[in-house]
Amino acid sequence: MTDLPSTVEIREEGPREGFQIEPGPIPTDRKVALVDALSATGLHHIQVCSFVSPKLVPGWADAEAVVAGFAPRPGVTYTALWFNAAGLNRALAFKDRLKVEGAVTVVASEAFSLKNLNRDRAKNLEAQRANVAAHLAAGVAVPRISVQAAFGCNYSGDVPPAKVVEALADAFAIGAEQGLTLREATLADTMGWATPARIERVLGEVRARWPDLSLILHLHDTRGLGIANAHAGLRLGVSRFDTTVGGLGGCPFAGQPGAPGNIATEELVLLCEEMGIATGIDLEALVEAGRLAEDVVGRTLPSTMLRSGTLARFRQAA
Amino acid sequence: MTDLPSTVEIREEGPREGFQIEPGPIPTDRKVALVDALSATGLHHIQVCSFVSPKLVPGWADAEAVVAGFAPRPGVTYTALWFNAAGLNRALAFKDRLKVEGAVTVVASEAFSLKNLNRDRAKNLEAQRANVAAHLAAGVAVPRISVQAAFGCNYSGDVPPAKVVEALADAFAIGAEQGLTLREATLADTMGWATPARIERVLGEVRARWPDLSLILHLHDTRGLGIANAHAGLRLGVSRFDTTVGGLGGCPFAGQPGAPGNIATEELVLLCEEMGIATGIDLEALVEAGRLAEDVVGRTLPSTMLRSGTLARFRQAA
């Protein structure tokens, strides 16, 4: 009946997602402190910053200082996000600290492409062609596709699964032109439209077309269904998820200020561990990192476990 | 693979759960305003108050005034909660406005029985015997069993499914002594220990023993898994759920002050409607009632949809 994975890879994006949307300013050393706390939790993947225009995303004007400042921990892969050659070059300056890999970013909604990337889907494909070429010229691998707005869009409403397939096909076409093997794809519920049924439908259609494509789910908990959606993904054998500690984040261009952010890392870890799926993460340390994140951003984060504590704590006391 | 129900019965408990735990004092007319707002949303079941000792639960010292004050709407069933003959008598004074039915309340954790009911399980069974007799003497039906701490306990840790079966068997035995037919049972995750896997396990064991027992899930969203747990229940054909608008509530005796409350009505309605399961509820009106609830209690409630708005709103604008 289910195809549960035996282990999951949790890709922590709290620093990158969180600090891009918080009003701030947040001192650089506090951002570094959060990355260091996350490094000590057993997480194996941490996205530490965004190399984007400081005009568009002032919260990441200090990206270089954050990357230079954290203490890399053996066994942890640190990544960053960027969308163009300029961002790539900033990342490459830190290739001793960051795993530098590119992605082909496509959008399943024309309206969101205009809002978030400031160009329509056709223009974005042109930009992605140039972006891939820049990566290859710099000797940087591009193994992944990222599909934004894969489950719905605040500007265009429901996104048919066929649009996700079309966006992926566009990305594969760009890859084929340049001799790339795209092995993995992130399906992002950027604006929180996913439901378990929609996860099943979209994953079903994508897998029917590309059965060997490794899928990553990037979920937001915009309307309370985030963990139910992750569970639907787990049941379908998805073993890689993007999350944020404390539920940090939210998209600055999604048109719903105040909406909750990504699914909380600690809630997904709890779900997995209680289902017998190993994460390798110390949940108690992660909850403490979430509380630190609240202190750093100066507000209460949406994660419920920061209020309630872990089950382990109650089990020990029982 | 699944046994999804075609309709669900959502039993709104926001007023009762919420006002028992809020520090208050909250003016009676504000409580009444929330009940009236909920009545206009399409909800068919609303629990309006608790007839409990004002010493133990000061927030419900005005239970009578609330029940006398709201405007009953045709087609809506209004209920209340009580735990003994004194509470029953207070409810009976309003039998023109309330559906007065009793329940046999049992606890799957000895430790929680002592904390919440101030008596051990054996003493609770004695009390339940007297309670059932009082109901029957007053001509009041007792169709339901309520199992507290059915998925775990902050004081005793994990609760084996066998303990739930044992608690139900105790309740059936009391019923049998007094010639009762107990047709339905509420399984309450009082302290937020449930996971989808645990829901499946407990429901499986209960149904193996009593295949015809109609089950109601009463879930708390203590650690972010509440809606995933409801989804697991839906997949197993559960069609009745207790919820609270805005995620009001939380148990005053659960030992985790500040923890989130019950699953939010609007999040369950969204989940159901997006899966094609009819609820009969106007989600936009419900979200407005949730915002009123925040205004009444004077704090931000955990429900994410109060921040993000409904999908319908974005669909219309698209």
User: DSSP letters along B66-130, please?
Assistant: HHHHS---TT-EEEEE--SHHHHHHHHTTTTTS----EEEEES-HHHIIIIISS-HHHHHHHHHH
Q: Which chain B residues have a beta carbon less than 8 Å from that of A311?
A: 152, 193, 223
Q: What is the pLDDT of residues A70-82, one digit of tens each?
A: 999 999 999 999 9
CATH 3.30.2310.20 matches B102-237: no
Cα distances (angstroms) measured from residue B69 to each of B38, B72, B92, B94: 14, 9, 16, 11
Q: Which of B265, B311, B313 to mutate to test the interface with A (most CBs of A within 10 A)?
A: B311
Q: Decide if A251 is catalytic.
A: yes
What is the maximum span of chain A, computed from C-alpha positions, in angstroms?
A: 61
Work out the pLDDT band at B254, boundaries 50, 70, 90. low
User: Which CATH number is associated with domain A1-100+244-318?
Assistant: 3.20.20.70
CB contact under 8 A, A231 and B196: yes
Q: CA dihedral defined by A159, A165, A166, A170, rounded to 10 degrees?
A: 130
Q: Is the ipTM of this complex over 0.85?
A: yes
Q: Please state, as a whole number, how many other Cβ atoms lie within 10 Å of the Cβ of residue A23.
A: 10
Q: What tokens does B172 get?
A: 């059936």
Q: Which chain B residues have a beta carbon less than 8 Å from that of A273?
A: none
Q: Which chain A residues have a beta carbon less than 8 Å from that of B258?
A: 307-308
Residue B258 has pLDDT above 70, yes or no: no
CB contact under 8 A, A308 and B158: no
pLDDT of residue A24: 84
pLDDT of residue A260: 79
Mean of pLDDT values over A270-279: 95
Rounded distance between C-alpha atoms, residue A102 and residue A137, angstroms: 12
* A-B C-beta contacts closer than 8 Å: 137
Q: Which chain A residues have a beta carbon less than 8 Å from that of B192?
A: 308
Cβ of residue A2 closer than 8 Å to a chain B Cβ? no
CB contact under 8 A, B224 and A264: yes
pLDDT of residue B259: 72
Rounded distance between C-alpha atoms, residue B103 and residue B16, angstroms: 16
pLDDT of residue B260: 79
Work out the pLDDT band at B253, boundaries 50, 70, 90. low
pLDDT of residue B257: 63
The minimum CA-CA distance between A308 and chain B, rounded to whole Å, is 5
Q: Which chain B residues have a beta carbon less than 8 Å from that of A1?
A: 1
Report whether A292 contacts A271 (CB < 8 A): no
Q: CA dihedral defined by A153, A154, A158, A162, rounded to 10 degrees?
A: -20
The minimum CA-CA distance between B226 and chain A, rounded to whole Å, is 8
* Fold observed for domain B7-100+244-318: TIM Barrel (3.20.20)
Work out the pLDDT band at A122, boundaries 50, 70, 90. very high
Work out the pLDDT band at B137, boundaries 50, 70, 90. very high
Domain ranges of chain B: 7-100+244-318, 102-237
**Percent of chain B with pLDDT strictly greater than 70:** 97
Q: How far is CA B112 from the centre of its chain?
A: 17
Residue B1 has pLDDT above 50, yes or no: no
Work out the pLDDT band at B2, boundaries 50, 70, 90. low
Rounded distance between C-alpha atoms, residue B154 and residue B193, angstroms: 8
The minimum CA-CA distance between B109 and chain A, rounded to whole Å, is 11
CB contact under 8 A, A157 and B195: no
Mean of pLDDT values over B56-77: 96
Instruction: Phi first, then psi: give them for residue B180, nearest 5 degrees.
Output: -85, 145
Q: Which of B115, B227, B265 to mutate to test the interface with A (most CBs of A within 10 A)?
A: B227
- Judged on CB neighbours under 10 Å (0-12, 13-18, 19+), B168 is buried
Rounded distance between C-alpha atoms, residue B62 and residue B24, angstroms: 12
Q: In whole angstroms, how large is the CA radius of gyration of chain A? A: 18
**Percent of chain A with pLDDT strictly greater than 90:** 87
CB contact under 8 A, A224 and B270: yes
CB contact under 8 A, A225 and B258: no
Report whether A243 contacts A214 (CB < 8 A): no
Work out the pLDDT band at A259, boundaries 50, 70, 90. confident
The minimum CA-CA distance between B272 and chain A, rounded to whole Å, is 10
Q: What is the pLDDT of residues B140-162, one digit of tens each?
A: 999 999 999 999 999 999 999 99
Q: What is the pLDDT of residues B28-50, one digit of tens each?
A: 999 999 999 999 999 999 999 99
Q: What tokens does A177 get?
A: 């032109």
Residue B231 has pLDDT above 50, yes or no: yes
Q: Which chain A residues have a beta carbon less than 8 Å from that of B275?
A: 195-197
Which residues 145-164 on chain A approach chain B with CB closer than 8 angstroms?
152-158
Mean of pLDDT values over A145-165: 97
Residue A255 has pLDDT above 70, yes or no: no
CB contact under 8 A, A271 and B309: no
Mean of pLDDT values over B99-117: 95
**Percent of chain B with pLDDT strictly greater than 90:** 87
- Judged on CB neighbours under 10 Å (0-12, 13-18, 19+), A6 is exposed
Q: What tokens does B99 get?
A: 């559906």
Write the CB contacts of A271 (distance below 8 Å, at least 6 apart in sequence).
A227, A230, A231, A234, B195, B196, B225, B228
Q: Would you call B30 helix, strand, or coil by DSSP?
A: helix
The minimum CA-CA distance between B29 and chain A, rounded to whole Å, is 30
Rounded distance between C-alpha atoms, residue B276 and residue B137, angstroms: 44
CB contact under 8 A, A267 and B223: yes
**Among B154, B270, B307, beta carbon nearest to A225:** B270
Residue A258 has pLDDT above 70, yes or no: no
Q: Which of A153, A195, A308 to mutate to test the interface with B (most CBs of B within 10 A)?
A: A308
Q: How far is CA A189 from the centre of its chain?
A: 10
Nearest to A162 by CA among A209, A211, A104, A232: A209
Cα distances (angstroms) measured from residue A239 to each of A92, A210, A230, A233: 28, 17, 10, 8
A185-202 b/e (C-beta count within 10 Å ≥ 16 → b): bbbbbbbbbbbbbbbeeb
CB contact under 8 A, A222 and B304: yes
Which residues 64-83 on chain B approach chain A with CB closer than 8 angstroms?
none
Mean of pLDDT values over B122-144: 97
Mean of pLDDT values over B183-212: 97
Report whether B153 contacts B191 (CB < 8 A): yes
Rounded distance between C-alpha atoms, residue A266 and residue A271, angstroms: 9
Work out the pLDDT band at B269, boundaries 50, 70, 90. very high
Q: What is the pLDDT of residues A176-209, one digit of tens each?
A: 999 999 999 999 999 999 999 999 999 999 999 9
pLDDT of residue B179: 94
B7-100+244-318 and B102-237: same fold? yes
The minimum CA-CA distance between A224 and chain B, rounded to whole Å, is 6
Q: Please state, as a whole number, how many other Cβ atoms lie within 10 Å of the Cβ of residue A44.
A: 16
pLDDT of residue A317: 84
- Judged on CB neighbours under 10 Å (0-12, 13-18, 19+), A45 is middle
User: DSSP characters for A131-179?
Assistant: HHHHHHHTT----EEEEETSS-BTTTB---HHHHHHHHHHHHHHHHHTT
Mean of pLDDT values over A97-112: 96
